[in-house]
């Protein structure tokens, strides 16, 4: 009986898709001034997104204005799959992954425990910005090393 249960568990484990690794961005657009970008903070913010899009739907101008006013970064990907099942369902994706084109993050203090992130995603074959909270922490821009 145990052997049968173990076989079933192995079969189920073999059918479960492995999580998709977040690749390094293909490009950055920085609003950090003389400071340097902290790419590891980007991945932390993405992997801790709360998977509940906020009702606001900013456009490109609003996102760029926030970055110009507060500093930050836009990181770009080529349809990076991002495990956000609820968000993906809203966007018309059936596999539980949102297709990320860009992440925009304003500068935040290193001790932030929650912050807003802007995600440029595919939405039913269109592309739009949405906003979510993220529990990731750390400042995206830090003083340049001398």
Confidence (pTM): 0.81
Tell how far CA 130 is from the center of its chain: 11
* Domain spans of the chain, in order of start: 22-142
- Give the count of alpha carbons within 13 A of 38, CB side only: 22
Average pLDDT, the chain: 84
| Cβ atoms of residues 91 and 123 within 8 Å | yes
Over residues 34-67, the pLDDT tens digits come to 788 877 888 889 999 999 999 998 999 999 999 9
């Amino acid at each position: 009986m145990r052997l049968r249960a173990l076989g079933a568990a192995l079969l189920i484990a073999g059918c479960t898709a492995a999580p998709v690794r977040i690749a390094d961005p293909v490009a950055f657009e920085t609003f950090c001034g003389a400071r340097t970008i902290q790419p590891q903070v980007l991945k932390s913010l993405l992997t801790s997104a709360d998977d509940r899009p906020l009702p606001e739907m900013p456009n490109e101008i609003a996102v760029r204005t926030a970055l110009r006013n507060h500093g930050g970064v836009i990181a770009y990907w080529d349809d990076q799959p991002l495990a956000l099942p609820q968000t993906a369902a809203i966007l018309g994706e059936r596999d539980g992954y949102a297709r990320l084109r860009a992440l925009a993050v304003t500068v935040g203090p290193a001790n932030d425990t929650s912050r807003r992130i802007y995600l440029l995603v595919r939405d039913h074959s269109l592309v739009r910005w949405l906003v979510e909270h993220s529990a990731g922490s750390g400042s995206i821009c830090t003083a340049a090393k001398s």
